[in-house]
Amino acid sequence: MADTFDAGKFGAILAIPFSKADLTTGEANSDLTAGQGTLHVMPVGGSVIGIGIRSNAALTAGTITAKAHKASTEFADVGAPAPACGSAAQASYASVRPGALTFDAGDTLGVSVTTTTTLDPTNTLDVDALLYVQFNPT
């Protein structure tokens, strides 16, 4: 267990924060922001390993689904993480094994959300997401 988080052996893990304010109904693949933009440039190769999302208020109707994307194209692989918030859960997380959703140094990564047309509340709902990546070991 002592080497469980040995970055040289397994690769360093990084959580990249994204957010969006005032979600509306029927948003499709709407990019969340991270600082001044919607994408982060990766310094080395690695894998997307998970996404965690949380809405600032409980939803009384509808859902918010998050997905990771590379170069503005969502990962469409079977098993790609797609956590969803809804009336049953204000927060959600989904993960995938390292090596399934890969990226190279210089690739850009981001998170987008899709909302249902029944989303409530609307226009005042904010969402935060963490994109978890694991860099290839050195």
pLDDT digits (tens, 9 = 90+) for 108-138: 999 999 999 999 998 889 999 999 999 998 7
- For the chain, counts of helices (H) and of strands (E): 1, 11
CB of 73 closer than 8 Å to CB of 131? no
CATH class of 12-135: mainly beta
**Which pTM does this prediction carry?**
0.92
DSSP letters of 12-48? -EEEEEEEEEEE-TT--SEEPBBTTBS-EE-SS-EEE
1, pLDDT greater than 80: no
pLDDT digits (tens, 9 = 90+) for 78-107: 889 999 999 989 999 999 999 999 999 999
Read off the pLDDT of residues 64-86 as tens digits, 9 standing for 90 and up. 999 999 998 999 888 899 999 99
pLDDT level of residue 5 (50, 70, 90 thresholds): low
| Phi, psi at 89, each rounded to 5° | -150, 125
* Sole residue written with tokens 């959300």: 113
What's the pLDDT score for residue 36? Answer: 84
- Written as one letter, the residue type at 82 is A
Task: Tell me the average pLDDT across 49-54.
Answer: 97
Length of the chain counted residue by residue: 138
